[in-house]
Chain A
Amino acid sequence: MNALIDYILHLADTTLILSQRNSEWCGHGPILEQDIAITNISLDLLGQSRNFYQYAAQLLNNSTEGNKAPSPGGEGVGAEVTEDSLAYLRKEREYKNLLLVEQPNGDWGQTILRQYLFSQYQYLLFEQLQHYSDEQLAAIAAKSLKETRYHVRWSSEWVLRLGDGTGESHDRMLKAIDELWRYTGEMFMPASYENSLNIDPAALKKAWEEKVNTLFTEASLPVPEKVFMQSGGKTGTHTEQLGFILTELQYMQRAYPNCEW
């Protein structure tokens, strides 16, 4: 049961943090229409993370040891776990998101590439998860799949445009690849909770590489080889970026506990 909760939190944290990152573009997009597009995606991801958090909260409240599992904000044993307490009151080391999604937005090209690398992975993952034995998890994956398919389509279009665009856009994409590629390996390295659940992300690697290769070739971008892959996000060891994100994300609840609108 704990493995399942950990895994759901991993999915929830990953979508929440990417949503938070993308939402930083709100009001700052390169053009009005793309501002709306990226914040739409941000909201899709937030919706997905809420589904995961709600399910995790339900499991935590039902399980006998739930109240002392991931600290729901140090409110003491017995406090009810909610989607909000999971998002707003867990600490950096308790977050299990992928390192890739916590990386800074950089320029538009870097944001696009991060979205593409992730969405392509998420699409392949949810395609499998929708048939998973846990019904609720399968249902959330199935529901999210259409959104994800659009995210892949939208971000692929942009990778093509920028990779195969002007000299400057091409150079910026090269820089983005250089910046982000080292965080892609982690997606396919199973954490112990994934092993216990018989979920094997490594099995998605080949399909993901094929998709990425095809797109990069079309976009005249090189696929890096022999890059040392960073890992640790799945088990709570993050880059220095996450702390800053949580500071902003959790500020209101930390400063004014239990405040409501």
Chain B
Amino acid sequence: MFNTCIRKFYYGDIPEDNAGGTQSNKPAAKNEWPLWEIFIRSKQGLDHKHVGSLHAADAAMAIENARDVYTRRQEGISIWVVESRYITASNPEEAGELYEPAVDKIYRHPTFYQLPDEVNHM
């Protein structure tokens, strides 16, 4: 009845046609639920961390699925979900121009300041 074809995506691997930016209006296959990215906060005071993705028909179901898939071993106290297509990711092929220029600019690190002894944990 839910003759669903499950496409398996690996961690951090949002496929092109599901990624944001180039907002594709191609309707998902009728029998296929959209993909959701799941963020879990493991305890009070920490931030939500991306833990993976799953399929669900809508946001409410995504929360319930995330509860069953990602918090069954007490991993979390709060869940965020966002549909994968709303995430815009940088292109790995542009890594050179995006990130490498920072490599030789060590003066941007705050390591050249003399800190008073009283200041810890910097």
Chain A positions near chain B (C-beta within 8 angstroms): 30-34, 36-37, 40, 107-108, 153-154, 157, 161, 168, 172
Q: Are B72 and A40 in contact (CB under 8 A)?
A: yes
Contact A31 B33 (CB under 8 A): yes
Instruction: Determine if B55 and A30 form an interchain contact, defined as CB atoms under 8 angstroms apart.
Output: no
With A32-B55, A36-B69 as contacts: A154 and B64 at CB distance below 8 Å: yes
Known: A31-B33, A33-B54, A36-B72. 4 other contacts (CB 8 A): A30-B2, A30-B4, A37-B68, A161-B61
Is B42 positioned at the interface, with any CB of A under 8 Å from its CB? no
5 closest A-B pairs (Cβ-Cβ)? A30-B2, A33-B65, A37-B68, A36-B68, A31-B4
What residues of A have a CB within 8 angstroms of the CB of B1 in the complex?
30, 107-108, 168, 172
Residue of A nearest to B5 (CB): A31
Q: Report Cα–Cα, A37/B65, bound state, in Å.
A: 7
Interface residues of B (CB under 8 A from A): 1-2, 4, 6, 33, 54-57, 60-61, 64-65, 68-69, 72
Contacts of B69 in A (CB 8 A): 33, 36
Chain B residues with CB under 8 A of A108: 1-2
CB distance from B87 to the nearest CB of A (A): 19
Complex CA gap A157/B59 in Å reads 12
With CB as the reference atom, state the residue of chain B lying closest to A29: B2
User: Quick check: B68 and A32 within 8 Å, CB to CB?
Assistant: no
B52 to chain A, nearest CB (A): 11
User: Chain A residues with Cβ under 8 A from B60's Cβ?
Assistant: 157
